[in-house]
């Protein structure tokens, strides 16, 4: 099955709940997954699928980009 890195960008924490639910469902379906709350680029597998889960606030997107570099 697929290996999926779930990259979370959240300002108030609500998006983490969405990522947790997605991870549970993916595990149930047999996929490997890992949730990254504050990832560094070196933490991510370039061969895995990167799923970005973000709130609608621009700050969350900035947090993802900032933490990667």
Average pLDDT of the residues in 31-44: 92
Q: Residue 46, CB half-sphere, CA atoms under 13 Å: how many?
A: 2
More confident residue, 59 or 19: 19
Going by C-alpha positions, the residue among 30, 42, 58 that lies closest to residue 4 is 30
pLDDT above 70: residue 61: no
Average pLDDT of the residues in 10-39: 92
What is the residue-averaged pLDDT of the chain? Answer: 85
- Contact criterion met (CB below 8 Å) for 48 and 6: no
């Amino acid at each position: 099955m697929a290996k999926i890195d779930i990259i979370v960008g959240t300002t108030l924490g609500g998006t983490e709940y969405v990522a947790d639910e997605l991870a549970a469902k993916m595990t149930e379906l047999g996929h490997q997954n890992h949730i990254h709350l504050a990832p560094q680029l070196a933490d991510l597998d370039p061969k895995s699928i990167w799923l970005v889960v973000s709130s609608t606030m621009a700050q969350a997107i900035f947090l993802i980009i900032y933490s990667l570099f």
